[in-house]
Structure 1
Amino acid sequence: MDASVTPALLYLDDVSVTFDGFRALNSLSLVIEHAEMRAIIGPNGAGKTTMMDVITGKTRPDTGEVMFDGHHDLTRIDEAGIAELGIGRKFQTPTVFDMLTVEDNILLALKSDRRPLASLLEKLTSARKERVDELLERVRLKDHRHRKAGNLSHGQKQWLEIGMLLAQEPKLLLVDEPAAGMTDQETADTADLLREIAQTRSVVVVEHDMVFVRDLGVKVTCLHEGSVLAEGPLDAVSSNERVIEVYLGR
């Protein structure tokens, strides 16, 4: 497939990355469509983190194409530039400003002119206030807007960070193990939240919790030794003999 004509949002083709002789990614090819959510599963060392590092510009591939939104070659753009294009990444451990309120965390994250003078002169306009309200509603934190972020539960901190990423108006959201450490109710609510987000933007979820992956109800890609081992609905992937052997059967 020619990346220059594919309508896909994200296109990885024949991507390889080697660290000190270890092949972290091995001719990996992956296509993510607009407004698609994809779950990425696989054993430790399968290449899931390296894949996200390549997409966000943290790691440069040795070979292969990484195209975004039709014509942006991500292998030639730095991390800040890639973020500006509309790719947001949420790591497993939530990163929020504990001493600030939930509302102030969202305000700081809102996409705006970041030059010092502009930030100094910027006021909480009605449009920005509406955007904050909308984001707090979206991530189930409207009733907690005046709480210090450090006082939130683990799951609520995860939602707050997702809200902060959404404030940047990304086209693609990369989410690493969002269900880790959550209660059953928080896990179910997080699945609902991600499904809502995926109605308007693309979401890639790396996850080990198969119950959570099933709740998402999306196409699944299983990585192994740096390449795609199986891809499709969860039932088909989880019944694949090689997937059971290298991952689910452990």
Structure 2
Amino acid sequence: MSGLLEVSGISVTFDGFRAINNLSFSIGAAELRAVIGPNGAGKTTFMDIVTGKTRPDGGRVLWGERSIDLLKLDEAQIAREGIGRKFQRPTVFEDQTVAENLMMALKAHRSPWRVLFWKPAGADHARVEELAVQVGLGEALARKSGELSHGQKQWLEIGMLLAQEPRLLLVDEPAAGMTLAEREQTTSLLVDLAKTHAVVVVEHDMDFVRRLNCKVTVLHEGSVLAEGSLDHVTANQQVIEVYLGR
């Protein structure tokens, strides 16, 4: 197995509707990938399968150097294996500071037994500061999360995800609702993270995808329609019909 994540031949049907249809996908350990496609293409269901929220009817999902079968694990076990997901709407604790949010994420990363007796040590405070700087919130550690802009909340949530030390990050529409400056900073953050992590960005915004300058996977009706650079996939006649014919 060459990739960090290898999905092969997965299918899933909901009430007779085939949401995922013989889908195969792989990503390396330090790679940035954009996944695009019209509504109903299967982007969310694909992420649900990888994170254990939805069970496919068939196919394989293998993870890591030991080719662990993710379909045998539950959501919590998959998260502990190093797969983190960031949903479209940021879910941060608004009444807590940036530092407290990050500290809670560090704590949650521990086993239930260790959480019981956990007290933050110097190394934990240092890690919280490091995470805040990494996501562009180094100056905002003492601020209440509810006071942050929409973009800053998104970065905080990415920081909380990083606190769990994932190897793969699944990020859903990070650019939605951001200012131009925030979008640029988000691009830089994701590109930077992909130097040491696998990062899958599900996005509708073509301009944002272009800035990411990475390989693109186009989904349509639950299958991979095209894969390659953005210029390559947007020149594909089928992709043009699917995107522009709606």
Identify the TM-score tier after normalising by the shorter chain.
over 0.9
- How far residue 129 of structure 1 moved from its aligned partner, in angstroms, is 1.6
TM-score (norm 2): 0.96
Q: 2:32 maps to what in 1?
A: 37
Q: 2:189 maps to what in 1?
A: 193
Gaps of 5+ in 2: none
- How far residue 133 of structure 1 moved from its aligned partner, in angstroms, is 1.0
Q: 1:22 maps to what in 2?
A: 17
Q: Deviations over 1:14-39 (max 9, x none)?
A: 10000000000000000111111100
User: Within the alignment, does 1:7 sit opposite 2:17 as a pair?
Assistant: no
Structure 1 contact 174–204 (Cα < 8 Å) conserved? yes
- How far residue 120 of structure 1 moved from its aligned partner, in angstroms, is 5.2
The letter of the residue matching 1:160 is L
- How far residue 208 of structure 1 moved from its aligned partner, in angstroms, is 0.4
User: Within the alignment, does 1:208 sit opposite 2:204 as a pair?
Assistant: yes
The letter of the residue matching 2:239 is V
User: Within the alignment, does 1:62 sit opposite 2:57 as a pair?
Assistant: yes
- How far residue 124 of structure 1 moved from its aligned partner, in angstroms, is 2.8
Q: 1:3 maps to what in 2?
A: none
**Aligned ranges for residues 1-250 of structure 1 at < 5 Å?**
6-70=1-65, 71-110=67-106, 112-115=109-112, 118-119=114-115, 121-250=117-246
Paired residue secondary structure (1:245): helix
The letter of the residue matching 1:233 is S
Paired residue secondary structure (2:132): helix
CA–CA separation in structure 1 for the residues paired with 2:137 and 2:244: 35
- How far residue 121 of structure 1 moved from its aligned partner, in angstroms, is 3.9
Paired residue secondary structure (1:143): coil
Identity %: 61
Number of paired residues?
244
CA–CA separation in structure 1 for the residues paired with 2:112 and 2:88: 30
The letter of the residue matching 2:112 is R
CA–CA separation in structure 2 for the residues paired with 1:170 and 1:90: 12
The letter of the residue matching 1:178 is P
The letter of the residue matching 1:216 is L
CA–CA separation in structure 1 for the residues paired with 2:208 and 2:192: 15
Q: Deviations over 1:98-144 (max 9, x none)?
A: 0100000000001553436x435433322112211110001101111
CA–CA separation in structure 2 for the residues paired with 1:108 and 1:126: 15
CA–CA separation in structure 2 for the residues paired with 1:57 and 1:120: 26
Change (3 A) 1:200 1:93: same
Gaps of 5+ in 1: 1-5
Structure 2 contact 129–141 (Cα < 8 Å) conserved? no
CA–CA separation in structure 1 for the residues paired with 2:46 and 2:143: 36
CA–CA separation in structure 2 for the residues paired with 1:135 and 1:149: 15
Structure 1 contact 40–206 (Cα < 8 Å) conserved? yes
Paired residue secondary structure (2:139): helix
Structure 1 contact 238–248 (Cα < 8 Å) conserved? no
The letter of the residue matching 1:193 is L
Structure 2 contact 10–56 (Cα < 8 Å) conserved? yes
- How far residue 224 of structure 1 moved from its aligned partner, in angstroms, is 0.2
Give the alignment's Cα RMSD to 1 decimal: 1.2
